Chain A
Amino acid sequence: MTDPILATHNLQKSFGALKATDNVSIDLYPGEIHAIIGPNGAGKSTLIAQICGELKPNAGRIELLGQDVTHTNTLTRAKAGIGRTFQISALAMEDTVLQNVLLGAVGAVGSPWRFLFPVLADKLLYSKANDALKRVGLQGDAARRTSDLSHGQRRQLEVAVALTLEPKAFVMDEPMAGLGAEGSKTLTGFLNGLRDEAPILLVEHDMDAVFALADRISVLVYGQIIETGTVDQIRSSKAVREAYLGSDT
């Protein structure tokens, strides 16, 4: 069996008496989409924050490509290959769409210390940025100011920025949040094709998208994984139904 790209082992994080992450072990294998679902307050965002290096766990281990990255920061993990998207778009709103994607390209190439060379004249950066925009279907919006984009387009732009990094694993925090049915369907189709490039750890509330995309689903409740399995296994799990999905699902 191949090794996981990304894995957590017995991860724990407490805030006072509250166990936000309670002994969580998950893994992400090449080519798969592993969804994390759970009710509000289950600890999904805390888990993501630990995986991406924004929060330090109290105990446990995080591995990326077999390397222990538990004690590294966000920068190191980004460089090591975690491509993250945010629940609330974290984009430079005053900048153009192209500039936002160029930022990803600058990060990927690791070349921010050039002061007198126009970024747009760098063919490598430009082609990386342009390719990412094309792939998410935003090439026609490159010159638009990001604050003028629709919510759905901003979600697409988030993915485009992550794409420029050519990550080893995507970590996506509710990419469908706020999208209409059509937008959600489009993004679902896109993410489905993305799995071959890098596996996706997907935190999502949109159950239609999760069931359409996920190879495996882990259900997080009160900081604990109560079940991990395929879509059918999760659908038919009594414990999951009681804890999260509801008995009529």
Chain B
Amino acid sequence: MIRERYLNGLVLVLLLAVPLWALINDQPFTITLATRAAIFALAAVGLNIALGLGGLVSLGHAAFFGIGGYAMGILAYHAQTYTPVMELPFVIEGTKSMPIIWLVAMVTSGTAALLIGLLSLRTTGVYFIMITLAFGQMFYFFSISWIAYGGEDGLSIYIRNDFPGLNTLVPINFFAICFTLLCLVLFINGLVARSPFGLALNAARQAPQRVQTVGLDPQRLKLVAFVLSGVITGLAGALFADLNRFVSPTMFSWQTSGEIMIFVILGGTARLCGPVVGAVVFVMLEHALGGLSEYWHIYLGALLLLVVLFARGGLVGLISGRAVAHD
């Protein structure tokens, strides 16, 4: 068994090496694929905080992914059309600056996660799954009916947004941004998991009664985890929209929520780099099998079935064994 921390390092090195190899061999599409994998991984790292640490099976994380996407889309659309986002009670201009867009995406998705969490966390089990799914679908249908921003057709952004000192239209530069953010969020996730908050949240998932009797509120812990999770998935949504230079209601769809959950389960729930492994495997299968058949999801389904049946710790668990508490 490979120790998990070595496996984590290996996964990240490989994710970095592939686009570098593609850069040398002039394969820009491969760099785009790696960027897609890094962004999906980031979205799934977000979900993993709620699902893995907090035990919150959210089937509505597409809401935060989509909010991040639309935060980017709306701000960039107004910047490219030189129109303000709003004029009353005060003027808000659009922007093409990635850091500002990320901040707006994180604040809006975090606020949405707070409101959704406050209502959803009154329920547990299948009801929690259903209520989060319902919220996701509410955003989906709202975006379809939001004609001002493209409705069902979505919204195209002609030029990728700016990052100080980098030409973001160069694929490897945009990959570098996404990969750096992924590593930063993984680092923070690792710290959070070992912190007093992570300890209490992990216990709240396993023994909420015990957490209460030591004077801590499991619901509040889970709510904070849900908000953190929403913030990270929202950031991933903004990056995903920038990668495609396009946002559409699909980002809010329940299929997107399902895919983010598949990344986590495939790679390994509650394992630090599980979402990264899951997202990379997903993108590889999508690329390798998508060309062969429109119905490539059948193979993904079979793989997921095998993992759920025979590798409860996901692919990371299969390779590195059960989680070590202080690893």
A-binding segment of B65-73, B102-110, B131-139, B211-219? B211-219
How many residues from A make CB contacts under 8 Å with B? 43
A106 interface residue per 8 A CB criterion: yes
- Tell me if B200 counts as interface (CB < 8 A to partner A): yes
The residues in B between 181 and 227 inclusive whose CB is less than 8 angstroms from any CB of A are: 188, 191-192, 194-200, 202-203, 206-207, 209-217, 221, 224
CB nearest to B224 among chain A residues: A113
Q: Which B residues are in CB contact (< 8 Å) with A83?
A: 213
Which B residue's beta carbon lies closest to that of A171? B213
The answer to whether residues A99 and B199 also contact, given A75-B217, A115-B192, A145-B325 and a CB cut-off of 8 A, is yes
CB distance from B190 to the nearest CB of A (A): 10
List which A94-133 residues lie within 8 A (CB) of chain B: 94-96, 99-100, 102-104, 106-108, 110-120, 122, 125
Knowing A74-B212, A78-B215, the reply to whether A95 touches B206 (Cβ < 8 A) is yes
- A239 interface residue per 8 A CB criterion: no
A107 to B199 Cα, complex, angstroms: 11
Cβ of B122: which chain A residues have Cβ within 8 Å of it? none
**A212 contacts the other chain (Cβ, under 8 Å)?**
no
Does B209 lie within 8 Å of A75, measured CB to CB? no
Shortest beta-carbon distance from A54 to chain B in Å: 8
Within 8 A of A (CB), among B50-78: none
- CB pair B214–A120 under 8 Å, yes or no, is no
Contacts of A122 in B (CB 8 A): 196
Interchain CB contact under 8 A, B191 and A118? yes
- Given the known inter-chain contacts A90-B207, A96-B326, A106-B200, please indicate yes or no for A117 contacting B215, CB distance below 8 A: no
Is the C-beta of A177 less than 8 angstroms from some C-beta in chain B?
Answer: no
Distance to closest chain A CB from B84 (angstroms):
36
Q: What residue of chain B has the Cβ atom nearest to residue A162's Cβ?
A: B213
A26 at the interface (CB under 8 A from B): no
For B212, the chain A residues whose CB sits under 8 A away are 74-75, 78
- A92 interfacial by beta-carbon distance below 8 Å: yes
Asked, given contacts A92-B202, A112-B221, A145-B325, whether A103 binds B210 with beta carbons under 8 Å apart, the answer is yes
Tell me, rounded to whole Å, the shortest Cβ–Cβ distance linking B213 to chain A.
5
Give the interface SS of chain B, mostly helix, strand, loop or mixed.
helix
B195 touches A119 (CB 8 A): yes
Query: Are A115's CB and B213's CB within 8 A?
Result: no
| Cα–Cα distance between A100 and B202 once the two chains are bound (Å) | 10
What sequence of 0s and 1s flags, for each residue 118-155 of chain A, a beta carbon within 8 Å of any chain B beta carbon? 11101001000000000000000001010000000000
A52 on the B face (CB < 8 A): yes
Expressed in whole angstroms, the minimum distance between the Cβ of A215 and any Cβ of chain B is 25
Q: B195 contacts A93, CB within 8 Å?
A: no
Min CB–CB distance B216 → chain A (angstroms): 5
Interface residues of A in 22-55 (CB under 8 A from B): 52, 54
For the complex, give the distance between the alpha carbons of A104 and B211 in Å: 8
Residues on B with beta carbons closer than 8 Å to the beta carbon of A20: none
Taking a contact as CB atoms under 8 Å apart, the answer to whether A52 and B213 are in contact is yes
Instruction: Tell me if A79 is interfacial: C-beta within 8 Å of chain B.
Output: yes
A116 engages B216 (CB within 8 Å): no
| Closest B residue to A74 using CB positions | B212
Bound-state CA distance A84–B216 (Å) is 14
A202 contacts the other chain (CB 8 A): no
The answer to whether B200 and A112 have CB atoms under 8 Å apart is yes
Set B188, B206, B211, B325: member contacting A116, Cβ < 8 A? B188
In contact, A116 and B213 (Cβ under 8 angstroms): no
Please measure, in the bound complex, the distance between the C-alpha atom of A233 and the C-alpha atom of B221, giving whole angstroms. 48
A75 to B209, CA, bound (A): 10
Asked whether, in the complex, the Cβ of A75 is within 8 Å of the Cβ of B191, the reply is no
Q: Are B196 and A125 in contact (CB under 8 A)?
A: yes
List, in ascending order, chain A residues with CB within 8 A of B210's CB: 86, 90-92, 100, 103, 161
A52 to B210, CA, bound (A): 12
Q: A90-B209, A92-B207, A96-B326 are in contact. Are A104 and B214 (CB under 8 A)?
A: yes
Partner of B196, one of A95, A112, A145: A112
Q: How far is the CA of A143 from the CA of B216 in the complex (A)?
A: 24
For residue A225, CB closer than 8 A to chain B, the reply is: no
Given A52-B213, A106-B216: A118 touches B194 (CB 8 Å cut-off): yes
Q: Which one of B188, B207, B214, B224 contacts A107 once the chains associate, using CB atoms below 8 Å?
A: B214
Q: How far is the CA of A248 from the CA of B69 in the complex (A)?
A: 77
Please give, as numbers and ranges, the residues of chain A lying within 8 Å of B214 by CB-CB distance.
78, 103-104, 106-108, 161, 164-165
A 41-83 binary contact with B (CB < 8 Å = 1; else 0): 0000000000010100000000000000000001100110011
28 example contacts (A-B, Cβ-Cβ < 8 A) are as follows A83-B213, A90-B210, A91-B210, A92-B202, A94-B202, A94-B206, A95-B203, A95-B206, A96-B325, A99-B202, A99-B203, A100-B203, A103-B199, A103-B210, A104-B214, A106-B216, A111-B196, A112-B197, A112-B200, A113-B224, A114-B195, A114-B196, A114-B197, A115-B198, A116-B191, A116-B195, A119-B198, A165-B215
**13 more CB-based (< 8 A) A-B contacts, given A94-B206, A108-B215, A120-B194:** A54-B209, A78-B213, A91-B207, A95-B325, A96-B326, A100-B203, A103-B210, A103-B214, A103-B216, A106-B199, A107-B211, A117-B196, A119-B195
User: A-B pairs with the 4 shortest C-beta distances?
Assistant: A107-B214, A78-B215, A92-B206, A90-B210
Q: Which residues of A line the B interface, CB within 8 A?
A: 52, 54, 74-75, 78-79, 82-84, 86, 90-96, 99-100, 102-104, 106-108, 110-120, 122, 125, 143, 145, 161, 164-165
